[in-house]
């Protein structure tokens, strides 16, 4: 999946990526939006920066994220 800046996402599962930390389990079910998709890297395994509602900004693996809407779509 190619995430773009502003995409609304949900952290819907625990990641299989080695970058996943135990504290990230608390993020499952949280919603937020993509702030930095690292499109210059164009690597589906790269961590991307997500701003989570009430949780701050974090770099998360992409396999734990689910796209909710496109930019501005409802």
For the chain, what are the domain ranges?
8-69
- For residue 46, the tally of other CB atoms under 10 A from its CB is 16
Query: For 5-35, how does the pLDDT look when each residue is reduced to its tens digit (9 = 90+)?
Result: 999 999 999 999 998 999 999 999 999 999 9
What's the CATH fold of domain 8-69?
SH3 type barrels. (2.30.30)
- Of 12-16, 38-42, 47-51, 61-65, the least confident: 38-42
- The span from the CA of 7 to the CA of 20, in Å, is 21
Place of tokens 């702030």: 35
What Å distances lie between residue 36 and 22, 44, 50, 63, 65, CA to CA?
23, 14, 7, 16, 14
pTM of the model: 0.82
């Amino acid at each position: 999946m190619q995430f773009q800046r502003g995409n609304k996402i949900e952290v819907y599962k625990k990641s299989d990526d080695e970058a996943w930390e135990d504290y990230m389990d608390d993020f499952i079910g949280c919603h937020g939006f993509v702030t930095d998709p690292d499109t210059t890297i164009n690597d589906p395994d790269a961590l991307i920066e997500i701003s989570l509602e009430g949780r701050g900004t974090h770099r998360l693996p992409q396999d734990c994220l689910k796209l909710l809407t496109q930019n501005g779509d409802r």
